[in-house]
Amino acid sequence: MRRIPHIALRIATAIMVAISLACQCVPPDPPEPTPPDPIDERSQELKDFLKKTDTGLYVNSVGLVIYDEMDYQKAWGTGAFRIQRDDQSAYLSIIASANSASSSYQVEYKNESTNVTLMLLKLQSVKTENSCVWLWNETMATGVIIPEGIL
């Protein structure tokens, strides 16, 4: 008969230890939720322009004057860049404003289907890759790809 209280004591002790351990367990923190992918708020015109790779002038992602090393020449100096067709039937000239802190540029171009067109644009750099820079004006949906470090 002495065994029954001893067995009961062991069972009661085991139950108390189990309850004590269960009360001490803290559930793990739930995993951090994965943040959603950022929303790309750029315009479709800009997205299309960023896919272009050839030096030149683009309006609404259409190349108006595009450099071709077989038929064009390149020239640049301090704050200016120009590409021109050998026969002068098409050209693109970009000149930075005198105020270097500004992003204003004089863009002049001519191609086979237009007369000389002059635009004064504020352009911002939106991409730099392969020694070229992509300059963009959202309001006019106009972009220029030129060699890096010229303007």
pLDDT digits (tens, 9 = 90+) for 36-83: 888 878 899 999 999 999 999 999 989 999 999 999 999 998 889 999
Instruction: Taking residues 88-95, report their average pLDDT.
Output: 94
- Site of tokens 């959603």: 36
The better pLDDT of the pair 37, 136 is held by 136
Looking at residue 2, what is its pLDDT?
Answer: 57
Instruction: Find which of 6-20, 27-41, 49-63 is predicted with most confidence, using mean pLDDT.
Output: 49-63
Q: Tell me if 94 sits within 8 A of 107, measured CB to CB.
A: yes
What six digits make up the tokens of 84? 């021109």
CA distance 42 to 35: 20
Residue tagged 């190349």 (tokens): 63
* Higher per-residue pLDDT: 31 or 1: 31
Question: Of 84, 125, 74, 132, nearest to 108 (Cα)?
Answer: 84
Q: CB-based burial of residue 134 (10 Å sphere; 0-12 exposed, 13-18 middle, 19+ buried)?
A: buried
